[in-house]
């Protein structure tokens, strides 16, 4: 987590991708890091990320 790199996860529907990424994001937030969450659909028209 401390390398501050982007993470992209792809795979079939229903395989737990969202659950895994939510857990990783929660750990990052609890460690004091900033997290930005995007879906592929969001990236089509997003101008700047929402940082939590």
Pick from 9, 4, 12, 14: which is nearest to 35 by CA? 4
Q: Where are the alpha helices (DSSP H) in 2-48?
A: 17-30, 40-43
Question: Is there a contact between 14 and 46 (Cβ–Cβ < 8 Å)?
Answer: no
* pLDDT value for 46: 58
Backbone angles phi, psi at 25, to 5 degrees: -65, -40
Higher pLDDT, residue 15 or 7:
15
The pLDDT value given to residue 30: 94
- Mean pLDDT score of the chain, rounded to an integer? 82
> Is residue 43's pLDDT more than 70?
yes
Token couple for 38: 């995007």
The pLDDT of 3-18, averaged and rounded, is 87
Q: How far apart are CA 13 and CA 29, in angstroms?
A: 26
33-39 average pLDDT score: 85
pLDDT above 90 covers a percentage of the chain that reads 29
């Amino acid at each position: 987590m401390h390398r501050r790199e982007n993470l992209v996860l792809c795979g079939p529907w229903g395989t737990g991708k969202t659950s895994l990424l939510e857990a990783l994001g929660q750990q990052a937030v609890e460690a004091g890091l900033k997290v930005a969450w995007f879906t592929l659909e969001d990236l089509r028209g997003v101008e700047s990320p929402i940082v939590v």
